[in-house]
Chain A
């Protein structure tokens, strides 16, 4: 008796596969000859020698087997002969999920090494989309996709928080450089509409203020939209073309509404690829305005004499990491190098590079899938070796995703290196000839050998803002508590450490701190429980809380509560700069509220 009873989800996956197939994909699915040439192109294989399950054709065959079983004649007639295999249960789909989300970053390195032209990344993404369509995906993918669908950006940044961040950045810029450095919001008919990654608002606002400094110095006619400003697109990672289309359309329509002449995309590999390349296909829109990477905008500013840079201000050895999305999917490999040559004095290539570079290992949305973190960090050894061999002190990348991926692996492999972006280097090298209202201060200290650490910290983080502040740090990881304590105490704060939920509650009650950081998963009372208890307590509900977690997928547990949301939210790994910026922002907001 045949046992072809299929779960509803498995049945849907098979049906939808037929609708997703196009000629390019069918070619790639049919053409693999199992020659094995691509195997050691994959960083997962190199970092896990002997584990065949990481080999690109092995992974591809899990998708290919399904295609052959249902859409290719040999597989339909003689499935065992060509290893055609269907899916029957939800467990089969879970196994497929582990491969397409957890063992491939869609980096396309195997593609450019396949003599047959098999494009693994294309059908791996397609398979992700199929699974997502039946609700099978890593928790983090679900959370981020939901945020992007519902809130309009992938980190769930609320409009008021976004505007608030731009405002306080403008205030700082104005205080240091003059009114023309304020960030124009929703200005009509601007030459440049600048779109960013929500990560910049949440963890790295310095990249926004650096960009504003550059635009201001260049005298650019620019603006940032109040909505539709997120140029990232989780549809690229989740394989959900509908999400991809909706997010792209939101951005394009906002530029049209503002009558902007050009959309400039800040440094982000997947954002650039999604917005500039894939977006028009997903949105089925013929985009009328120009789109360019901010890297090109900065080069043009220099070439047109709109800004002047002094490369001696960036004397440290610097190497460059090509993001997969730029290098292997958008062909942007030379422009960042051109700009680097203009703004730093010791540039060293990493090998291999350009289209042959290895993935940062955080690509394809891997940073949001914490269940695969140990696997990701193990496979990052290849990248760590590559970085170490350069002898550089800074690795520059034009991608926010890579910033996180590289930062994480640098910490894991204990490399003496910092990650930075071109916008930071350009701002650092910027020669501001006539500061408008405040003389002589340049926003960021030069990266001199002795000032590397200082350069990573914006001026306002060292302004004694934390002096006298008492901050409760609740986290069960002793290393993390030590790190946060060191950073905050270095800037004048007093830290009250708590190592579990119960202790955190008690200390909150007895110490009444100015703010607290809270881990979600802790022994005893979980962070979620502590959060809810604090928010429901009349005496304690005013303590501003910054959630710091290594499990972004648990964010929804916090946001689903009916109590007031936390004042800040930071994903681990946390760097010094990100921590200080968030703490500062929260305390400033508290002060303003009180005033």
Chain B
């Protein structure tokens, strides 16, 4: 068995199993904490409620106009979208090769699509590294895990980009490294900040439900002269 076959097969599958187990434990851990109960009667405007609140809260990620922090920093928002599309594409590529194409090359159009998305995400990864290192605020709040996760993801994008055509004959090293880093991620993610997507539905659900009942979500804005608020 070659290193490529091992990393694409056993290693990848084992990592997936570990990830599933750890994620399950993580979710169990979170749900062991009881959810705070609301006794108060709803407040605020009558045109919203808990349900509308959490739906709005979940949809928030796709509504850059909804928060001042994204509305006023659209370029950063665009980077966020590209980066996360890149992650999704790099994960999809793992499975496309391991469970689909095996040793066969990807069709050029598919490989190109992966490369465009992942390549752009790699560029964004570099920009994010620069931002994290140059902003005194981000430097002050970043942990080794924050830096490591970002560096490694960006590196993974680079290898995913190189591996995307899946030319086993010429690119075996890239594909092998791409799988090794990918498998490492599967195991590492539940322990790192990258697991935030596991919490995302919970935090946004609870915040949305709470602020929906309080009549705050969806946030009402006013189109005014300065445009800041509209």
Interface residues of A (CB under 8 A from B): 21-28, 30-41, 50, 52-53, 55, 57-58, 61, 73-74, 80-83, 111-119, 276-281, 284-287, 291, 327-334, 349, 351-356
Contacts and interface: CB of A to CB of B under 8 A. Distances in A.
Given A83-B143, A351-B228, A355-B219, A24 B45 contact: no
Given A55-B141, A61-B141, A331-B45, A31 B208 contact: no
Interface size bracket, B side: 35 or more
Interface in B29-49: 29-31, 33-41, 43-45, 48
Contacts of A38: 69
B70 A37 contact: yes
Contacts of B80: 35, 115
A81 B135 CA distance: 20
A73 B202 CA distance: 19
Given A116-B200, A329-B214, A41 B144 contact: no
Contacts of B229: 351-354, 356
Contacts of B225: 351
Contacts of B204: 116-117
Contacts of A112: 67, 211, 216, 219
Given A116-B199, A117-B203, A281 B69 contact: no
A27 B203 contact: yes
A117 B208 contact: yes
A30 B143 contact: no
Contacts of B203: 24, 27-28, 31, 116-119
A39 to B, nearest CB: 5
Contacts of B138: 34, 36
Interface string B87-107: 000000000000000000000
Contacts, number: 192
A24 B68 contact: no
28 contacts: A22-B34, A23-B35, A23-B36, A24-B206, A27-B203, A27-B206, A31-B196, A33-B193, A34-B141, A34-B193, A39-B137, A57-B141, A73-B191, A74-B191, A83-B143, A116-B199, A117-B204, A281-B36, A327-B216, A328-B216, A330-B216, A331-B216, A332-B43, A333-B220, A352-B229, A354-B222, A355-B219, A356-B229
Nearest to A53: B140
A150 to B, nearest CB: 27
Q: Return the 10 tightest CB-CB contacts between A and B, nearest first.
A: A331-B44, A331-B215, A52-B140, A117-B203, A113-B69, A280-B39, A31-B199, A117-B204, A117-B207, A83-B143
Nearest to A337: B222
A19 B97 CA distance: 47
B70 A115 contact: yes
Nearest to A113: B69
A330 B196 CA distance: 28
Contacts of A351: 224-226, 228-229
A330 B200 contact: no
Contacts of A280: 39-40
Contacts of B34: 22-23
B55 to A, nearest CB: 13
B140 A277 contact: no
Contacts of A349: 222, 224
A24 B200 contact: no
Max chain A CB contacts within 10 Å: which of B57, B139, B216? Answer: B216
Interface of B: 29-31, 33-41, 43-45, 48, 57, 60-61, 67-70, 73, 76, 80, 135-146, 191-193, 196, 199-200, 202-204, 206-208, 210-211, 214-216, 219-222, 224-226, 228-229
A83 B39 CA distance: 36
A58 to B, nearest CB: 5
A276 B192 contact: no
B207 A111 contact: yes
A568 B141 CA distance: 48
A277 B214 contact: yes
Contacts of A82: 143-145, 192-193
A353 B98 CA distance: 52
A81 B216 contact: no
B214 A34 contact: no
A74 to B, nearest CB: 5
B196 A116 contact: yes
Nearest to A293: B43
Contacts of A291: 41
B77 to A, nearest CB: 9
Contacts of A41: 68-69
Nearest to B209: A24
A107 B102 CA distance: 54
Contact of B141 (A36, A80, A115, A354): A36
B219 A58 contact: no
Contact of A281 (B38, B70, B145): B38
Contacts of B67: 37, 112-113, 115
B97 to A, nearest CB: 28
Contacts of B39: 280-281, 284-287
B143 A23 contact: no
Contacts of B193: 32-34, 82
B222 A334 contact: no
A80 B146 contact: no
Contacts of A57: 141
Nearest to A50: B136
Contacts of B76: 37
Given A34-B138, A113-B67, 13 more contacts: A24-B206, A25-B36, A31-B196, A31-B200, A38-B69, A41-B69, A50-B136, A52-B136, A55-B141, A73-B191, A116-B204, A281-B36, A332-B44
B219 A26 contact: no
A364 to B, nearest CB: 17
A461 to B, nearest CB: 37
A353 B225 CA distance: 12
Contacts of B219: 112, 354-356
A276 B143 contact: no
Given A22-B36, A80-B144, A74 B192 contact: yes
Contact of A330 (B136, B141, B215): B215
A330 B214 contact: yes
Contacts of B220: 333-334, 354-355
